[in-house]
Amino acid sequence: MNDHRNISKDDPLKRIVEKNSGEELSPFDPPDAYDPPNLETVPYYKLDPFLQELVDEHKAFTDVLNDFESALLKWRENNWQFDKEIDGKFKNFFNFIDEKVPAHNQKEEKDLFPLLNKKLIDIGEHNPKDSSLTGIKIMEDEHIKVAQAAAIVFNFLGLGSRLPDQRSREITFQSAFEQGIAIIETMRLHIFREENILFKQAMKLFDKEEFVLLKK
């Protein structure tokens, strides 16, 4: 399993400002993606049920990502030969991407993100050169990039399996592997930032009535 602290040392999303810390940081360039200064997480039991549901869905996705990673690594060790276990974990990953992830992303993009984006702009947590840009934009972009990367991996797997030339097949499969690992790294960091930064901000900035509206 990869050490998630080494995934990105130049993560574009910096910790949202902790007003009581005496240190204001832009939300676009953290010193350490997995260790923002003065980070105080909100325990699961203190989250609003709307956010708890998102966290539960993250847990399910994380389990799928872990299986996908183990299958990718085994596939590479097997010199790009498939077996029943690898096939099953690959299939489970692509089914999850197709069937579960879009509904989860819609909850965030249609319900949570617009309100949180407005709140962040209101408190001055935005790009200094463009007040319409907050960390939410990065989250939305990553949703799109992961979906695109998953499609590339799926297509590379199909293409590679049909190539008669071994060298060309290996190059194609290597590209699929690298894209797959990139998806895993991106999503682990994405989930971490949502749960430890954005959801915390939502708990701080939303009132009870606003959370009720999110569930409708």
Q: What is the pLDDT along the chain (216 residues), one digit of tens a residue?
A: 444 444 444 444 443 333 333 444 343 444 455 666 556 778 999 999 999 999 999 999 999 999 999 999 999 999 999 999 999 999 999 999 999 999 999 999 999 999 999 999 998 888 888 878 889 999 999 999 999 999 999 999 999 999 999 999 999 999 999 999 999 999 999 999 999 999 999 999 999 999 999 876
Q: 41 — alpha (psi -120 to 50), left (phi > 0) or beta?
A: beta
Cα(215)–Cα(81) distance, integer angstroms: 46
Cα(64)–Cα(61) distance, integer angstroms: 5
Cα(157)–Cα(134) distance, integer angstroms: 36
**Domains along the chain?**
48-214 (1.20.120.520)
Query: Is this structure's pTM higher than 0.95?
Result: no
